């Protein structure tokens, strides 16, 4: 029996749907012929602006609900064939409210899996993160799917976030073992792209750099600029989510990263060039009290297993993806959101 769930003619729910990845995936599923896409969100972090471009689609249904309330999820998942689990506190939120983050990222996932089981949802796609490998000096070389978790020298919020994603993955595995719930885990790299929010520590760095350049200020580079960052374009991730549903794969966890790593200096230089500026960056140390995710040494998040499992690989280069993001920021939609 295959675990594939064709998108065309089927109904999908996106838990945490009023988000960057949620709105892009909803558009991807609608374009692929989904019968209906349900966006489930409590709008504590999601926004109406994020879904404004698809809001009027007759096959889109918006449900206000909270992952901490199982009855909300049970009702929302009725008749759904697939469920994408996106709702989560990210590192910056985890830093300000660790208890809330633990609740949403663990109990919220368990509630969603229970609702999927009760409604006989055919397949779950769980949005995990490359944070399952940890942070700090121990993170180096090729990060493959069985790379262990490193926590030494990293901020507590980052480790708490990564640990909740590890637990979420194991809750999916447990649901498969106990109830036969088919699932695919996708370990996202830092997501960027149109309709980007201001909550992701590393993605925020792109916007902060652009904002400074537009004001004629020098962009900041931390340390010597050699620190590695890993970004993946939101459109590539939306495609990965769709392909995870359509693939026969189940009981797997794979990396979904961009084409290649980028250093902070390379990133600032790319954004500076796109801004048509020749302002030189300012090299600075860390700001006390600010959560910043340091990677330690140079490393690469390998995405080859994603191709083997679901046929996916990233297509958008960092340069082209940044062009799209900057064009959106400068558009009417970007300025008013």
pLDDT in tens, 180-213: 999 999 999 989 998 876 555 556 778 888 888 8
Give the pLDDT confidence score for residue 288 in this predicted structure: 52
Strands 228-229 and 262-263: antiparallel
Report the alpha-carbon distance of residue 78 to residue 251 in Å, rounded.
23
Give the pLDDT confidence score for residue 91 in this predicted structure: 84
Give the pLDDT confidence score for residue 147 in this predicted structure: 84
Q: pLDDT above 90 covers what percent of the chain?
A: 65
Query: How much is the mean pLDDT over the chain?
Result: 90
Residues of the chain with pLDDT under 50: 291-296, 337
Determine the straight-line distance between the first and last CA of the chain, rounded to whole angstroms: 45
Give the pLDDT confidence score for residue 208 in this predicted structure: 85
**Interval 157-166: pLDDT, tens:** 999 999 999 9
Give the pLDDT confidence score for residue 156 in this predicted structure: 92
Strand pairing partners for 13?
38, 83
315 φ/ψ angles, rounded to the nearest 5 degrees: -115, -25
Give the pLDDT confidence score for residue 113 in this predicted structure: 98
Give the pLDDT confidence score for residue 337 in this predicted structure: 44
- Give me the domains of the chain, ranges plus CATH numbers: 11-193+232-259+297-316 (3.40.50.720)
Report the alpha-carbon distance of residue 256 to residue 254 in Å, rounded.
7
Give the pLDDT confidence score for residue 230 in this predicted structure: 87
Give the pLDDT confidence score for residue 160 in this predicted structure: 96
């Amino acid at each position: 029996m295959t675990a594939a769930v064709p998108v065309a003619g089927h109904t999908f729910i996106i838990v945490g749907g009023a988000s960057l990845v949620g709105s892009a995936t909803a558009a991807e599923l609608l374009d692929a012929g989904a019968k209906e896409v349900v966006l489930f969100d409590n709008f504590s972090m999601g926004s109406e602006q994020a879904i404004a471009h698809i809001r009027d689609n007759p096959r889109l249904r918006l449900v206000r609900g909270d992952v901490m309330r199982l009855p909300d999820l049970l009702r929302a998942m009725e008749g759904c064939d697939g469920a994408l689990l996106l709702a989560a506190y990210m590192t910056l939120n985890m830093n300000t409210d660790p208890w809330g983050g633990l609740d949403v990222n663990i109990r919220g996932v368990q509630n969603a899996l229970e609702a999927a089981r009760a409604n006989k949802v055919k397949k779950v796609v769980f949005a995990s993160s490359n944070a399952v490998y940890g942070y700090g000096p121990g993170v180096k070389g090729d990060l493959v799917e069985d790379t262990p978790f490193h926590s030494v020298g990293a901020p507590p919020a980052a480790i708490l976030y990564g640990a909740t994603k590890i637990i979420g993955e194991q809750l999916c595995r447990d649901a498969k073992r106990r109830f036969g719930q088919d699932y695919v885990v996708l370990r996202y790299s830092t997501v960027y792209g149109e309709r980007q929010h201001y909550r992701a520590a590393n993605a925020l760095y792109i916007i902060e750099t652009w904002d400074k350049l537009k004001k004629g200020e020098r962009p900041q580079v931390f340390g010597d600029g050699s620190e590695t960052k890993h970004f993946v374009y939101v459109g590539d991730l939306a495609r990965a989510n769709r392909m995870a549903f359509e693939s026969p794969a189940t009981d797997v966890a794979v990396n979904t990263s961009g084409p290649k790593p980028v250093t902070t200096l390379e990133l600032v230089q790319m954004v500076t060039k796109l801004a048509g500026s020749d302002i030189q960056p300012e090299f600075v140390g860390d700001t006390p009290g600010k959560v910043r995710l340091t990677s330690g040494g140079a490393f690469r998040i390998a995405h080859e297993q994603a191709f083997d499992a679901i046929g996916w690989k990233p297509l958008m280069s960092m340069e082209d993806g940044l062009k799209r993001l900057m064009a959106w920021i400068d558009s009417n939609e970007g300025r008013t959101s």
